[in-house]
């Protein structure tokens, strides 16, 4: 089985799946080309990831930004042709149960079915069964363990590690002609998935899933065919305004055509966001993007046996994003000021050092590094390599391959570091000036 690229819909008996969608703020003035809308409408069923709830002004404590959108944004997704909204993601509970309930009501009122959230863990994990042409398809939606996961008595989103998920998938192989899992997880702005995430997704195929399609990294990652089933590691964004990283403008739609003979054919449609417009990628740029996807796919296939690739990505991530928070935690203000002066001056001029908000801010960071499987994989892998607990399998060739791919998913990394430093220092200076005067 090969994944083919197409610019037109494969026609009947198909499901089309799009990546992360948050239309407010920043994207709500965007538009969707006629070609994109035709692709969505020509599929029997079209699925979008609703990455943020209705903003009900009820933010909840969590790691990372709190996001929200409007009912009009949900209506827009319906109007351009989507039939189903997936809710299992790391932002759906940003406004608590109030936000979740409002989102489900908004989807229902505009004709969007939803999956991936519920009144309890057992409710959230339930799939929906859709008729796709001549076949029935059970659609599951799950995510990694960040904030907002449903439990036995608490509403929330469906966790991919929920006990019994694989048994439930197996059960639905006899209730529907096909089983599809849409998953939200992995790590942002990198070209390949964590090895632990790959193992988890492969286990879903082993349980009976005919295809697994993922989002969350905001940039495109490629796919593999595992036991005759496609696993897509990241579609990238569909409609999500993230201007600080230009790689987020390129993504793809994944379309699956089903046959009565219990076989499927996978297709991709390469797309981009340009000046606020979601459109098909131009021919020249599509070749460059396609070559990147093929390189990413080659490495993804090697991940289970060649650990050096993930070791290289993990050590890069640890140095750039995890090290400062982990080493600052519990050191006290003076030591932290000596080691990370810009970070501490930023917090000091915000006036939150010593207050509960700051202590919670630090604790939520550390909590998420522990509870979220992919964050934990980065920290464990990097520290094991650094301390010699596991063999360092990186080679100069692997380092170069990874560097080439990382330059694709974060092409302005060094410039972004400098810009972030300048912006942070300017903010700190302005705050300090206002405090003094």
CA–CA gap between residue 158 and residue 339 (Å, rounded) = 39
**pLDDT on residue 69:** 94
pLDDT at 295 over 70: yes
pLDDT at 411 over 60: yes
Does 333 share its domain with 375? yes
In terms of Cα–Cα distance, which of 37, 207, 146, 73 is closest to 376?
A: 146
55-82 per-position pLDDT tens digit: 999 999 888 889 999 999 999 999 999 9
Higher pLDDT, 310 or 11: 310
**pLDDT on residue 338:** 58
* 357: Cβ contacts below 8 Å, ≥ 6 apart: none
Structural domain ending residue among the three candidates 302, 323, 355? 302
CATH number of the domain that 264 lies in? 3.60.21.10
Higher pLDDT, 340 or 309: 309
Does 290 share its domain with 317? no
**pLDDT on residue 351:** 54
Does 181 share its domain with 98? yes
List, in sequence order, every residue forming a beta bridge with 303; answer none if it has no partner. none
**pLDDT on residue 358:** 52
Does 232 share its domain with 375? no
123-149 per-position pLDDT tens digit: 999 999 999 988 999 999 999 999 999
Mean pLDDT over the full length of the chain: 89
Does 108 share its domain with 220? yes
Q: Are 257 and 13 in contact (CB under 8 A)?
A: yes
Percentage of the chain exceeding pLDDT 70: 86
261-276 per-position pLDDT tens digit: 778 999 999 999 988 8
Any idea which residue has 């990198």 for tokens? Answer: 190
CA 13 to chain centre: 27
CA–CA gap between residue 367 and residue 383 (Å, rounded) = 18
Q: How confident is the model at residue 283 (pLDDT cuts 50, 70, 90)?
A: confident
Task: Give residue 165's domain range.
Answer: 4-302
pLDDT at 437 over 60: no
**pLDDT on residue 2:** 87
Any idea which residue has 């990413």 for tokens? Answer: 296
Q: What's the rounded mean pLDDT across residues 376-401?
A: 97
195-233 per-position pLDDT tens digit: 999 999 999 999 999 999 999 999 999 999 999 999 999
Does 298 share its domain with 401? no
Higher pLDDT, 1 or 21: 21
pLDDT at 431 over 80: no
Higher pLDDT, 76 or 330: 76
As a whole number of angstroms, the longest Cα–Cα distance in the chain is 76
Q: What's the rounded mean pLDDT across residues 342-365?
A: 62
79-130 per-position pLDDT tens digit: 999 999 999 999 999 999 999 999 999 999 999 999 999 999 999 999 999 9
Does 255 share its domain with 318? no
Beta strands in 206-262, from DSSP E residues, in sequence order? 211-215, 221-226, 229-234, 237-240, 250-259
Does 281 share its domain with 323? no
pLDDT at 422 over 70: no
For 215, list phi and psi in degrees, rounded to 5.
-150, 175
pLDDT at 316 over 60: yes
Structural domain ending residue among the three candidates 267, 302, 337? 302
Q: Are 98 and 56 in contact (CB under 8 A)?
A: yes
In terms of Cα–Cα distance, which of 166, 184, 16, 18 is closest to 87?
A: 184
Q: Where are the alpha helices (DSSP H) in 158-244?
A: 165-172, 195-207
pLDDT at 51 over 80: yes
Q: What's the rounded mean pLDDT across residues 320-347?
A: 68
Does 313 share its domain with 293? no
Q: Are 275 and 249 in contact (CB under 8 A)?
A: no
In terms of Cα–Cα distance, which of 47, 49, 45, 48 is closest to 14?
A: 45
230-246 per-position pLDDT tens digit: 999 999 999 998 887 88
Q: What's the rounded mean pLDDT across residues 166-170?
A: 97
Structural domain ending residue among the three candidates 262, 278, 302? 302
Q: What's the rounded mean pLDDT across residues 154-170?
A: 96
**pLDDT on residue 154:** 94
Does 130 share its domain with 226? yes
Does 244 share its domain with 330? no
Counting the structural domains of the chain, the total is 2
- HSE (side-chain half, CA atoms, 13 Å) at 283: 0
Instruction: Name, of 3-12, 218-227, 279-288, the range with top average pLDDT.
Output: 218-227
Does 287 share its domain with 312? no
């Amino acid at each position: 089985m090969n994944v083919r690229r197409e610019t037109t819909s494969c026609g009947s008996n198909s499901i089309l799946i799009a990546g992360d969608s948050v239309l407010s703020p920043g994207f709500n003035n965007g538009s969707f080309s006629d070609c994109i809308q035709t692709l969505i409408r020509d599929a029997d069923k079209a699925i979008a990831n609703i990455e943020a709830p209705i903003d009900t002004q009820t933010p909840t404590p969590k790691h990372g930004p709190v996001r929200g959108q409007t009912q009009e944004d949900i209506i827009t997704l319906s109007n351009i042709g989507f039939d189903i909204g997936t809710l299992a993601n790391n932002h759906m509970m940003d406004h608590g149960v109030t936000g979740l309930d409002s989102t489900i009501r908004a989807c229902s009122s505009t004709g969007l079915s939803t999956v991936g959230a519920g009144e309890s863990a057992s409710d959230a994990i339930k799939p929906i069964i859709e008729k796709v042409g001549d076949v029935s398809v059970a659609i599951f939606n799950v995510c990694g363990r960040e904030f907002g996961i449903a439990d036995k008595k608490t509403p929330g989103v469906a966790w991919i590690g929920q006990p019994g998920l694989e048994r439930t998938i197996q059960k639905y192989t006899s209730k529907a002609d096909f089983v599809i899992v849409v998953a939200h997880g992995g790590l942002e702005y990198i070209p390949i998935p964590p090895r632990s995430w790959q193992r988890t997704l492969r286990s879903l195929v082993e349980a009976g899933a005919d295809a697994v399609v993922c989002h969350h990294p905001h940039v495109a990652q490629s796919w593999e065919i595992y036991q005759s089933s496609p696993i897509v590691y990241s579609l990238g964004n569909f409609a999500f305004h993230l201007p600080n990283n230009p790689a987020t403008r390129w993504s793809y739609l994944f379309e699956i055509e089903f046959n009565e003979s219990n076989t499927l054919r996978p297709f991709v449609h390469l797309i981009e966001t340009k000046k606020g417009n979601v459109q098909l990628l131009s021919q020249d740029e599509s070749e460059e993007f396609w070559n990147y996807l093929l390189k990413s796919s080659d490495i993804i296939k090697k991940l289970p046996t060649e650990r050096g690739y993930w070791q290289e990505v993990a050590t890069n991530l640890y140095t750039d994003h995890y090290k400062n928070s982990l080493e600052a935690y519990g050191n006290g203000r003076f030591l932290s000021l000596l080691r990370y002066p810009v970070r501490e001056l930023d917090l000091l001029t915000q006036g939150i050092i010593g207050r509960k908000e700051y202590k919670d801010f630090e604790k939520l960071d550390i909590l998420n590094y522990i509870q979220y499987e992919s964050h934990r994989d980065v920290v464990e892998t990097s520290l094991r390599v650094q301390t010699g607990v596991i063999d360092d399998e990186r080679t100069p060739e692997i380092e170069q391959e990874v560097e080439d791919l990382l330059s694709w998913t974060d092409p302005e990394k060094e410039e972004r570091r400098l810009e972030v430093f300048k912006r942070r220092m300017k903010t700190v200076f302005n705050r300090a000036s206002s405090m003094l005067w």
